[in-house]
Structure 1
Amino acid sequence: MDVAFPAFEAYARDALAFIEAHGHWAPAIAFALAFCESLAVISLFVPATFILIGLGPLIEAGGIAFLPVWFGAMLGATLGDALSYWIGFHFKDSVRRIWPLSRYPGIIEPGERFFHRFGTWSVFLGRFSGPLRAVVPLVAGMFAMPQFLFQMVNIASAMLWAFLLLAPGAAAVKYWTG
């Protein structure tokens, strides 16, 4: 974890301790974290990736079922990106005049360049890059990417992203304890 964000580290530690004590909440917490992590701009302020990665080992060690947690994370990521897309589609270029983007115009520019360079693939690939994950769905909506195509790529990338965050930690614990 980055030393520049000690509050994020404490938040992540507290969240993981809560999940460890209340495993039945893991799918809902995975949903909320993935939703925040995938929602335009909000993801820049929520250290959800660290918690989701830490959740992987807790799944196996705490006897929490993997599939509900994976589904929660996948659904949260899908809905977060879908909402970001809708905001971009609805507000188009005026999104730049809405806070906080109005105060930080440089946030959206890398996502635009990435979207113009990779098109549909930018939605899939952007899911795996923190700074891009925060804006590519918004940009896809701004540039009116066909919604059906966006949603198909959105769902596929969310399924893989959630799996890659959760499964390695669960598998490692299973390997070491099995």
Structure 2
Amino acid sequence: MDIELWKNSVLEFVQAHQAYAPFVLALMTFGESLAFVSLLLPTMTILIAVGFVLAAADIPFWQAWAGAVVGAFLGNWVSYAIGKRYKKAAYGVWPLSRNPKLIVRGEDFFQRFGPWAVFLGRFFGPIRAVIALIAGIFLMPGVLFQAANLASASVWAFVILAPGAGLAEYLLW
């Protein structure tokens, strides 16, 4: 298949459905931030590439960013709630039950950095999948968790979308 044809097809599709861009990004970042699911959906590379497509399709950056923030925030919030409700029994659910080293790394990270672990953990691949869950298990106060969650979701969404959105006009179009 011709790359130019593929690129134009994707752009036309995104432009025709640009009103859904924030919603689609929210779903993607929700999955990327939700315990269990994020281990199965490696969407980071896709999210970075999405920044290029959004810029090429003339979708306002702030709309895409807001959708990504909402999804990331809600994904961590649900993970936190699961950890708070089910405690360490959540570790027995697949795929975490097959990754005990990930659990140990996440617990060590949380013990070392405390509330900052929620903020920092979002930027470290596999730890992102469990840090909110562990915060809930260790009964981190809800207000403190949500403050770190919102701050990290806001910065993380910018970091994953901005490079593509900012460089798209110089590199591709």
Q: TM-score, normalised by structure 2?
A: 0.87
Residue by residue, what CA displacement relative to the aligned partner does 1:74-122 show, whole Å, maximum 9, x if unpaired? 0000000000000001111221233333343333111001000111111
What 5-or-longer segments of structure 2 have no aligned partner?
1-5
Asked if residue 72 in structure 1 is aligned to residue 67 in structure 2, the reply is yes
- SS of the equivalent of 1:93 reads helix
Code of the aligned partner of 1:148: V
Which position in structure 2 is the counterpart of 1:99? 94
Q: 1:151 aligns with which of 146, 150, 172?
A: 146
Q: CA 1:177–1:133 in structure 2 vs 1: closer, same or farther (change >3 Å)?
A: closer
Asked if residue 126 in structure 1 is aligned to residue 121 in structure 2, the reply is yes
Q: What CA distance in whole angstroms lies between the structure 2 residues aligned with 1:100 and 1:160?
A: 28
- SS of the equivalent of 2:52 reads helix
Q: CA deviation at 1:128?
A: 0.3
Code of the aligned partner of 1:80: G
Which position in structure 1 is the counterpart of 2:79? 84
Identity of aligned residues (%): 49
Q: CA 1:91–1:160 in structure 2 vs 1: closer, same or farther (change >3 Å)?
A: same
Q: What CA distance in whole angstroms lies between the structure 2 residues aligned with 1:131 and 1:104?
A: 10
Which position in structure 1 is the counterpart of 2:160? 165
Tell me the matched-pair count: 165
What 5-or-longer segments of structure 1 have no aligned partner?
1-12
Which position in structure 1 is the counterpart of 2:3? none
- SS of the equivalent of 1:140 reads helix
Code of the aligned partner of 2:67: G
Is the 8 Å Cα contact of residues 20 and 62 (structure 1) preserved in structure 2?
A: yes
CA RMSD of aligned residues (A): 2.3
Is the 8 Å Cα contact of residues 36 and 94 (structure 2) preserved in structure 1?
A: no
Q: CA 1:47–1:99 in structure 2 vs 1: closer, same or farther (change >3 Å)?
A: closer
